[in-house]
Amino acid sequence: MPEETKEQPKEQQADNVVFIGKKPTMSYVLAVLTQFTNGQKEVHIKARGRSISRAVDVAQVVQRRFMPDVKIKRIDLGTEEREVEGKGKVNVSTIDIVLTR
């Protein structure tokens, strides 16, 4: 039970974050549109590694096809050091695209 109480504040903080994975691009576009529809003024699109190109696609589709009033506020690039079995530590690129209304 104590673990659940620790996770709940994280979820509340991450209300305006869409993590990009392997689903189709339009799934994430819908998630971003839902965030804006629910009243968020700012939405973060976050991705790592091979999902970075999909994150860029999501931001562009939202901006060009569905919400032309949305602007890219900033793009943060970074590197995370991840522990991979059999390979040791590996650097993985990250991106955080902040869209604002």
Instruction: Please give the average pLDDT of every successive group of 10 residues along the chain, which has 101 residues.
Output: 42 76 96 94 96 97 95 96 89 96 91
| Rounded Cα–Cα distance for residues 74 and 96 (Å) | 8
- Position 12 scores a pLDDT of 46
Separation of first and last alpha carbons in the chain: 38
Helix (H) or strand (E) holding 7: helix 2-13
- Position 16 scores a pLDDT of 92
Which residue ranges form the domains of the chain, and what is each CATH number? 17-100 (3.30.110.20)
- Position 9 scores a pLDDT of 44
| Rounded Cα–Cα distance for residues 84 and 88 (Å) | 5
pTM of the model: 0.82
| Rounded Cα–Cα distance for residues 28 and 43 (Å) | 12
